[in-house]
Structure 1
Amino acid sequence: MTYTLRTYTPADETSWLRCRVLAFLDTAFYDSVVPAKPVIAAPGLELVVVDGTGSVAALMDTGIEGDAATIDTVAVHPDHRRRGLGRQLLDRTRDWARSAGATTLDAWTRDDVNTLAWYHAMGFDESDHYLHVYANHYSDPSEPTRAITEQRPGIHPVVIFGHAPLADERQLRSEFARVHVDRRFAQRL
């Protein structure tokens, strides 16, 4: 199959969204669904790899602030995995980040085995960590109530998403069904 790596255009949005949703379904971000492509502030970089039909097969969005570039989104459509598309996107992103004056390229991701392996294989070092905690009524009706310290009359929490320190992992895993370790991966450019 022939692929083309190029800059994202607004005409790609529907295909971009489809690629992102399908790529995330079998990861720890399975419910991270957005109805529109998030805006990447200038001078950020928005890349796509399209297949022969023009459909987005892979994508990478990267922002930059000062000397740090951060990969905000990277996704490869399940039908196009293991073909080096992520590596191609990363290579182009590294070149862009260097030329934009960044000295570090980083990304934050959850505890998904394949994703963690990819970042390690691409030369990133793992550093900072914190927790993503979900308190969901459908997992356990008492989870949302346990997650808040003061209830407001008339509001009944159903799903709560929060950040917590890594030091609280053992306790939070005993209280909530869904807890992820969010990790920072970084590499010097």
Structure 2
Amino acid sequence: MQIRDYHSTDEQSWLQCRVLSFMDSSYFQDVQQHRQTFARPSVELVAMEKDKIIGLIDAELNSQSMTDKQESGAMIWNLAVLPEYRQQGVAKDLWQAMRKRLLDQDIHYCELWTQEDVPANRFYQHNGFKLDTNATYLRCKIGGRELPLALSKQLNKTVYVEDMTFEAQVSEREQLQPLCGEIIETRMYTQHF
């Protein structure tokens, strides 16, 4: 296996790797037709096996999405490994290569968001990331339900929600359970190194 910089000619292979890697995760609906670009400088790496992308990691430097604005840092936007290459150290090697690149640029802080996927959470915890419980929140998805919307009153008839997602505090999970068709806990992990 070789880890190298992402090249623009890798786009289709990168997209395929990302889609296949996310299919058995809570991010299965996050399909991209074009690879995202970053507003700020970034480090974008791929793991190769015989001219095939088997894993990838992208981090944006000093991202505007970062919560800790007191120091230089990086936000990991993508980390994915093809299912048939998991449990072989590919994700760990990608993270170690990224960490080295960040250190080379005098960046000693990194954060990322993930959901409730057990293997992903276990990986981050095992590799030195700490869960920031203050930043963790719930995403509540509602669909096909009647809700007391202001629009119902204005139209003088019942309005049904086809699809709606909103954020809530983790402490509100029990209260939201009867209302939400799906509740996803979104977690932030951070690491100082």
Cα deviations by residue, 1:94-121 (Å, 9 ceiling, x for unpaired): 1122222323111110011111111111
Partner residue of 2:172 out of 154, 168, 179: 168
TM-score calculated relative to the size of structure 1: 0.86
SS in 2 for 1:118: helix
Structure 1 unaligned residues grouped into runs of 5+? none
1:97 aligns to what? 102
Partner residue of 1:60 out of 41, 57, 60: 57
1:110 aligns to what? 115
CA RMSD of aligned residues (A): 2.0
SS in 1 for 2:121: helix
Partner residue of 1:133 out of 137, 140, 162: 140
2:3 aligns to what? 5
CA distance in 2, matches of 1:117, 1:62: 20
CA shift in 2, pair 1:60/1:158, >3 Å: same
- Does residue 47 in structure 1 map to residue 48 in structure 2? no
* Amino acid corresponding to residue 83 of structure 1 in structure 2: Q
Deviating beyond 4 angstroms after TM superposition, the runs of 4 or more aligned structure 1 residues are none
SS in 2 for 1:14: helix
Cα deviations by residue, 1:108-160 (Å, 9 ceiling, x for unpaired): 10011111111111111111201122223xxxx21xx53x844397x975322
CA contact (8 A) 1:130 1:165 kept: yes
Deviation at 1:186, TM superposition (A): 0.9
2:78 aligns to what? 73
CA distance in 2, matches of 1:121, 1:38: 28
Deviation at 1:5, TM superposition (A): 0.7
* Amino acid corresponding to residue 57 of structure 1 in structure 2: I
Quick check: which has more Rg, 1 or 2? 2
Structure 2 unaligned residues grouped into runs of 5+? 63-70
SS in 2 for 1:5: strand
CA distance in 1, matches of 2:98, 2:23: 24
CA contact (8 A) 1:133 1:163 kept: yes
Aligned residue pairs, count: 178
- Does residue 15 in structure 1 map to residue 39 in structure 2? no
Deviation at 1:44, TM superposition (A): 0.7
CA contact (8 A) 2:138 2:170 kept: yes
